[in-house]
Amino acid sequence: MDKEKQKEYNKKWYEENKEKHKEYYQANKERKKEYREENKERIKEKQKEWYEENKEKQREYKKKYREENKEKIKQKNKEWNEKNKEKQKEWHKKWYEENKETEKQKDKEYREANKERINEKQKEWNKTENGKKSGAIRRWKYQGLTDTDLDYIYDLYKNTTNCWVCNHDFSKYCKCMDHNHETGDFRQILCKKCNCHDNWKNYSEIV
Ligand SMILES: [Zn+2]
């Protein structure tokens, strides 16, 4: 029998015995499942053994695959991330909720162990433009400023060279951000003298 005829024959046989085949497959599937259930531990053990024996090979193989398919993997990951953005957010949130305490502890330990390095970094950061800005904003918030346009206020603060009330030069006098303590709104940029005990109110032309 030639190849084509054999193929034809196989196909016909399969069509005729489809149901039987299905039954057999189903039964086999059940049997396999049972076997797996019964030998769960043994299979696990075997898998572990195999994994241990082939660890290096597997690692090599994976590494090679990753190197050869760099772009493809990157693309796939990107696609996957796009598709699962919301889900990932959910997972991350859930994971964090579940691991909050251990994470906090880990963070604390890390900070303890790297105190010097972190302090050094913080000092460096505080000297940068962004560091100065975030430091000032943090201070203002702590003092009770609730204004939302903090970028604008900081720009104003940075570029103001003289006290808005007495015109003292800030290169000689300390610069302060003055805000309404009741509403939390930004009010003005003052020298320390004017800001102290709301001295600026004594300047009649401004009140
Ligand atoms: Zn002043």
Encode pLDDT of 70-82 as tens digits: 999 999 999 999 9
| Centroid of ligand 1 to alpha carbon of 136 (angstroms) | 20
Instruction: Give the pLDDT score at 18.
Output: 84
Q: What does the mean pLDDT of the chain come to?
A: 90
Distance 164 CA to ligand 1 centre (A): 7
What does the alpha-carbon distance between residue 116 and residue 196 come to, in Å, rounded to a whole number?
36
pLDDT at 205: 55
Distance CA 75, CA 85 (A): 15
3-state DSSP assignment of residue 162: strand
Going from the Cα of 195 to the center of ligand 1, the distance in angstroms, rounded, reads 7
> Ligand 1 mean position to 114 CA, how many Å?
43
Look at residue 23 in the predicted model and tell me its pLDDT: 86
Q: Are 131 and 125 in contact (CB under 8 A)?
A: yes
- 189 CA distance to ligand 1 centroid (A)? 9
Say how many residues make up the chain: 207
CB 196 within 8 A of CB 173: no
Position 30 scores a pLDDT of 87
Give CA–CA dist 71/73, Å, rounded: 5
* Region of residue 184 (phi > 0: left; psi between -120 and 50: alpha; otherwise: beta): left
20: Cα within 13 Å, side-chain hemisphere: 5
Phi, psi (degrees; rounded to nearest 5) at 146: -115, 0
DSSP string over 126-149 = HHSHHHHHHHHHHHHHHHT---S-
Find the 196 Cα to ligand 1 centroid distance in Å.
9
Could you tell me the distance, in angstroms and rounded to a whole number, from the CA of residue 142 to the centre of ligand 1?
23
